[in-house]
């Protein structure tokens, strides 16, 4: 039931109830007034009856079994009862003792009921108690008001009765019925009202329950918000909070509510919060700021305070609500990002330096290259020749180092995937193996390509050529005489994992992660002039440029090395 309907119903019922009650009361008052008049009329009537007898003769007496008023014989004399009937209507009777001797009351046959006796409460009142009697009776279906007065002789003995009966007014006659109806209506009303109120009570309880459910739902909602939420009054006392706030503060809600920041967090933090709260309360609206917060577990968190004022029902400032956002991780991430950017910048600078150095080295190398062979030709002393050779070979090393440094720098240029081409891996690898033939043939190393012919990758051809050349030359370098190098590939949905495996010197576990670093050499003291420690760094850059990953695997020193890398698969 809608509240409005309920309201209208209750109002109507109350109105009807009020009107009914008023009507009943009015009815009662009318009845009382009317009844009073009737009674007066009755008394007038019986008084008149007695006075009529007084005119006839003074004092009632019984002489020879007959009732006399003075000398006026009453028995069988209907003059005065009929006179009364003429004046007042109704009926009148004179009893001698308890026997009707003069009457205009008619019996069943329509004859005057002379000789019949009085019975009932009137008889008892007169003869037992000696009192007059007033009552009501129905004569021939007509309601009458009745009055019985005793007739006493000079000695005060009761010798008879005067009786008059006056017809009740129509209103009074119907009064009882009316009252009954009204009473019934009223009872009905009260009953309906009671039932309705009971129902209403149920409805109200239902609404209260719904209300409670809603409040509980909102609390649940606030509790579910993963960020700490709290609300305070204008005095800075906490009015409520959610679960995240509780767990952050390591306090139960009951310990928080009603307290101020000063009672909970210590002066230093509280001062800051209060200052900000006051600023917000002075200019109501929203407020946001960052602040470091010490949690109950002692950890320091960077928090964003998002606050806003709220209004009470009457529109006055009720307090403020705050939502805390923990941005510690974001801050960390930002720090990390700027660190990475710095590293990237550093790396770019390093590349620029490498390029510049590479070019700059070539100029002083030029005279060395031009003159050292000449010197060797011109000198005849073998010792000097040997010295010239050593100088020449070192000049060559410097040149190669320069070339590879420049290559590494140039390979850092990233080619957009849209410019990559499809490369059939197996046939390409065959080509790469042939290109390196000179290096492995001298060591009697064999190179075996086990890649399935249908596998294709997407990439920059020049870079992949460089990649394989480096890996093969590395594998050859570290392989024993007559060693075998295996090149294989496993295709996944979107990638191809390629492996270059040798049976060579292997890697110590602590070196596995570092072999791709620029200028890294397993043995720093080893004067292997052919290896500049750049090969795998170049490989890493190339694979990285192809959005791939490269890593080394080795069961240990002397047990061979497998380099694996992932390239994007071509499915076109």
Partner 1 sequence: METGVMIVDDNDFIRESVDILFRTAGIRVVDAKGGNECLSQLEAGFKGVILLDVMMPGMDGWDTIRNMVARGLYEGNAILMLTAKEKPDIKMNGIQEYISDYITKPFNPMELLETVKFYSKLLTT
| Binding-site member from 325, 371, 379, 415 for partner 1 (CB under 8 A) | 371
Burial label for 254, CB within 10 Å (0-12, 13-18, 19+), is exposed
* 150/130 Cα distance (integer angstroms): 7
Per-residue contact flags (x/-) with partner 1 for residues 300 to 339, judged by CB under 8 A: ----------------------------------------
Provide the β-strand partners of residue 499.
488, 564
Stretch that binds partner 1, among 43-51, 190-198, 331-339, 356-364 (CB under 8 A): 356-364
Nearest to 522 by CA among 541, 538, 539, 509: 509
Stretch that binds partner 1, among 270-278, 288-296, 332-340, 354-362 (CB under 8 A): 354-362
Q: Return the number of the residue (200 or 361) whose C-beta is nearest partner 1.
A: 361
Stretch that binds partner 1, among 114-122, 267-275, 365-373, 490-498 (CB under 8 A): 365-373
| Binding-site member from 63, 370, 416, 530 for partner 1 (CB under 8 A) | 370
Q: Does 154 bind partner 1 (CB under 8 A)?
A: no
φ, ψ dihedrals at 284, nearest 5° = -55, 150
Transcribe 314-341 into DSSP letters. TSSEEEEEEEEEE-HHHHHHHHHHHHHH
Q: Does 367 bind partner 1 (CB under 8 A)?
A: yes
* 246/252 Cα distance (integer angstroms): 6
Q: Does 359 bind partner 1 (CB under 8 A)?
A: yes
Q: Does 50 bind partner 1 (CB under 8 A)?
A: no
Contact, 56 vs 162, CB < 8 A? no
Q: Return the number of the residue (83 or 399) whose C-beta is nearest partner 1.
A: 399
Stretch that binds partner 1, among 59-67, 360-368, 439-447, 547-555 (CB under 8 A): 360-368
Q: Return the number of the residue (469 or 475) whose C-beta is nearest partner 1.
A: 469
Q: Does 379 bind partner 1 (CB under 8 A)?
A: no
Contact, 155 vs 125, CB < 8 A? no
Angle at 347 between CA 345 and CA 349, to 5 degrees: 70
Q: What radius of gyration do the chain's Cα atoms show? A: 64
Nearest to 405 by CA among 359, 342, 437, 445: 359
Q: Does 251 bind partner 1 (CB under 8 A)?
A: no
Stretch that binds partner 1, among 333-341, 369-377, 448-456, 544-552 (CB under 8 A): 369-377
Q: Does 113 bind partner 1 (CB under 8 A)?
A: no
Q: Does 368 bind partner 1 (CB under 8 A)?
A: yes
* 199/553 Cα distance (integer angstroms): 82
Burial 525-543 (b: 16+ CB within 10 A, else e): eeeeeebbbbbbbbbbbbb
φ, ψ dihedrals at 251, nearest 5° = -135, 150
Q: Minimal distance in Å, beta carbon 412 to partner 1?
A: 13
Per-residue contact flags (x/-) with partner 1 for residues 383 to 422, judged by CB under 8 A: ------------x---x------x---x------------
Sorted by sequence, the CB contacts under 8 Å of residue 531 that are 6+ apart come out as 477, 521
Stretch that binds partner 1, among 176-184, 302-310, 368-376, 479-487 (CB under 8 A): 368-376
Q: Return the number of the residue (40 or 360) whose C-beta is nearest partner 1.
A: 360
Q: Return the number of the residue (4 or 370) whose C-beta is nearest partner 1.
A: 370
Transcribe 3-27 into DSSP letters. HHHHHHHHHHHHHHHHHHHHHHHHH
Q: Does 513 bind partner 1 (CB under 8 A)?
A: no
Stretch that binds partner 1, among 150-158, 362-370, 383-391, 434-442 (CB under 8 A): 362-370
Residues that bind partner 1 (CB under 8 A): 358-359, 362-371, 373-374, 395, 399, 406, 410
């Amino acid at each position: 039931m809608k509240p409005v309907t309920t309201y209208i119903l209750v109002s109507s019922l109350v109105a009807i109830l009020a009107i009914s009650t008023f009507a009943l009361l009015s009815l009662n008052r009318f009845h009382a007034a009317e009844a009073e008049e009737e009674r007066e009329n009755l008394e007038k009537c019986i008084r008149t009856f007695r006075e009529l007898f007084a005119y006839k003769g003074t004092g009632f007496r019984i002489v020879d079994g007959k009732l006399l008023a003075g000398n006026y014989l009453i028995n069988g004399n209907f003059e005065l009862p009929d006179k009364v009937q003429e004046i007042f209507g109704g009926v009148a009777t004179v009893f001698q003792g308890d026997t009707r001797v003069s009457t205009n009351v008619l019996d069943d046959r329509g004859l005057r009921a002379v000789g019949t006796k009085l019975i009932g409460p009137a008889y008892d009142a007169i003869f037992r108690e000696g009192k007059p009697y007033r009552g009501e009776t129905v004569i021939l279906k007509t309601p009458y008001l009745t009055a019985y007065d005793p007739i006493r002789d000079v000695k005060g003995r009761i010798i008879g009765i005067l009786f008059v009966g006056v017809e009740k007014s129509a209103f009074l006659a119907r009064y009882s019925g009316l009252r009954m109806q009204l009473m019934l209506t009223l009872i009905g009303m009260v009953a309906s009202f009671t039932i309705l109120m009971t129902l209403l009570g149920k409805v109200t309880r239902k609404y209260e329950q719904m209300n409670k459910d809603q409040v509980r739902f909102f609390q649940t909602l606030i509790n579910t918000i993963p960020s700490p939420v709290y609300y305070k009054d204008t005095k800075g006392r906490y009015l409520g909070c959610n679960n995240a706030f509780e767990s952050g503060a390591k306090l139960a809600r009951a310990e928080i509510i009603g307290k101020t920041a000063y009672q909970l967090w210590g002066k230093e933090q509280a001062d800051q919060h209060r200052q900000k709260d006051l600023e917000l309360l002075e200019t109501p609206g929203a407020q946001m700021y960052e602040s470091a917060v010490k949690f109950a577990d002692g950890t320091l968190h960077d928090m964003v305070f998002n606050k806003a004022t709220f209004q009470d029902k009457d529109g006055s400032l009720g307090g403020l609500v705050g939502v805390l956002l923990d941005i510690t991780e974001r801050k960390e991430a930002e720090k990390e990002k700027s660190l990475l950017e710095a590293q990237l910048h550093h790396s770019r600078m390093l590349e620029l330096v490498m390029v510049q150095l590479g070019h700059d080295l070539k100029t002083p190398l030029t005279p060395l290259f031009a003159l050292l062979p000449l010197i060797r030709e011109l000198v005849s002393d073998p010792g000097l020749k040997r010295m010239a050779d050593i100088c020449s070979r070192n000049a060559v090393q410097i040149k190669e180092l320069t070339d590879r440094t420049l290559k590494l720098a140039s390979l850092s240029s990233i080619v957009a995937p849209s410019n990559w081409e499809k490369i059939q891996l197996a046939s390409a690898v065959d080509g790469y193996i042939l290109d390196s033939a000179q290096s492995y043939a001298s060591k009697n190393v064999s190179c075996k390509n086990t890649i399935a012919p249908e596998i294709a990758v997407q990439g920059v051809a020049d870079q992949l050529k460089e990649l394989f050349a480096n890996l093969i030359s590395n594998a050859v370098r570290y392989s024993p005489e007559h060693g075998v190098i295996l090149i294989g590939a496993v295709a996944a949905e979107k990638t191809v994992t390629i492996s270059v495996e040798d049976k060579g010197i292997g890697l110590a576990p602590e070196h596995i992660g570092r072999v791709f670093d620029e200028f890294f050499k397993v043995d720093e003291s080893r004067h292997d002039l052919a290896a500049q420690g750049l090969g795998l760094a170049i490989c890493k850059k190339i694979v990285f440029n192809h959005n791939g990953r490269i890593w080394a695997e080795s069961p240990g020193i002397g047990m061979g090395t497998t380099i694996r890398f992932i390239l994007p698969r071509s499915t076109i």
